[in-house]
Structures are given as C-alpha cells and as structure tokens.
Amino acid sequence: MAKHSMKCHPDTTARLVEGLTAEVERQDNGRIWVRYHVDAPVDELELGSPREAGRRDGLWQTTCFEAFVMEAGNPGYLEFNFAPSSEWAAYRFSGYREAMAELPMPIAPELGNDASQSHFALEAVFGLPQEFTGKSLLLAITAVIEELDGTKSCWSLAHPAGAPDFHHPDCFTLHLPARAEP
C-alpha cells in the first residue's frame, strides 16, 4: 500500500506542519480504510477534546480529515469528514456542490487515532452505499489542519487553481479500480 504525499494549498500557511501523508485501501467488504499522518508537534495542533462518537456538522471549521468519493464518470459524489474528537459527518451531492444531503450511514464510520510528540494520525473505516459496489472510484483525500495559534492549512493530494476547494473535480486524483464484491 502506497503512502500518498499531500500538498498544502499555496494560499494557506502551515506554520508547524512539516508534512501530511495518506494511505488508502479498498477493503473486500465494500468499505474504505484511510490513514492520515500529520508530521507536526502534536501539542501545537488544535485536536479538540474527545467526544462521544457520532454525526456532527461543521467539522471542517477546525482540524478535520476528509475523503470525497465518486464513481468514475458520474458527477455525483460523497463527502466524509472525520474529526480527532471521534465525531464524523457524511453527505451526498448530485454534482459539483449541488443538492447536498445527509448520507444515511447504517454503520457508523470507525475512527481511531494515535499520536506522539512529533505526529498525529487518524484512521477511518467507512462504508459506501450499495451503488458504489464493484465500481471504479475516484477519491479526493483532503484535510484542514488548525494549529493552536489559529493558523489553518488546507491539504490535498491535488489542488485546483484559485482558492482552496476540496469539492473541485481536480482534487479527485486517487483511483481505486473496480473490484468484484462477494
């Protein structure tokens, strides 16, 4: 499994974050596993306080790890947000920023994290709706990292020209080939 280096958007500043990588795997059970690894002094990151796992909107306003998933050739996509607090969100869009709706999640995403003085890592395992089973997928793997002084940086595998925009089709650069599901 390859580590993918994420890039900080040139219009945002990462004062203390030295790098961010992501690993992604499509599992046999129709779920996606992703691990985000931030190289930074963990005591300088805004990680919030642990909370009861559950759905919550607005997670992107502070440190938040995200995965956008679309079927290749289809304009609709899904957005998943994962917070260090163990909260999460999931949405469906019919096209680029169109018809946003809460995505039902019969099984909540599984979140876990680990940290040391020099890193923070978050792992998420989440299911996709049945219509994504066996399809070729494109992913945008992204993150907002907030430092304790309020500095926010926007990270992605690729960025479109202009302001940060994780929903933009240019961010969907990670290809997960179709696979037969049992």
pLDDT (tens place) for every residue of the chain, 182 residues total: 689 999 999 999 899 999 999 999 999 788 999 999 999 999 999 998 888 889 999 999 999 999 999 998 899 999 999 999 999 999 999 999 999 999 999 999 999 999 999 999 999 999 999 999 889 999 999 999 999 999 999 999 999 999 999 999 999 999 999 875 55
Q: Are 76 and 95 a contacting pair, CB within 8 Å?
A: yes
pLDDT for 103 = 97
pLDDT for 104 = 96
In angstroms, what CA-CA distances link 124 with 15, 34, 111? 26, 5, 5
Bridge partners, 123 (sequence order): 35, 112
The 3-state secondary structure of 10-47, one letter per residue: CCCCCCCCCEEEEEEEECCCCEEEEEEEEECCHHHECC
pLDDT for 107 = 93
pLDDT for 180 = 59
4-176 is classed in which CATH architecture? Sandwich (2.60)
Cα(27)–Cα(176) distance, rounded to whole angstroms?
11
Q: Are 93 and 76 a contacting pair, CB within 8 Å?
A: yes
pLDDT for 134 = 85
Whose CA is closest to 138, among 64, 63, 77, 47? Answer: 77
pTM assigned to the model: 0.95
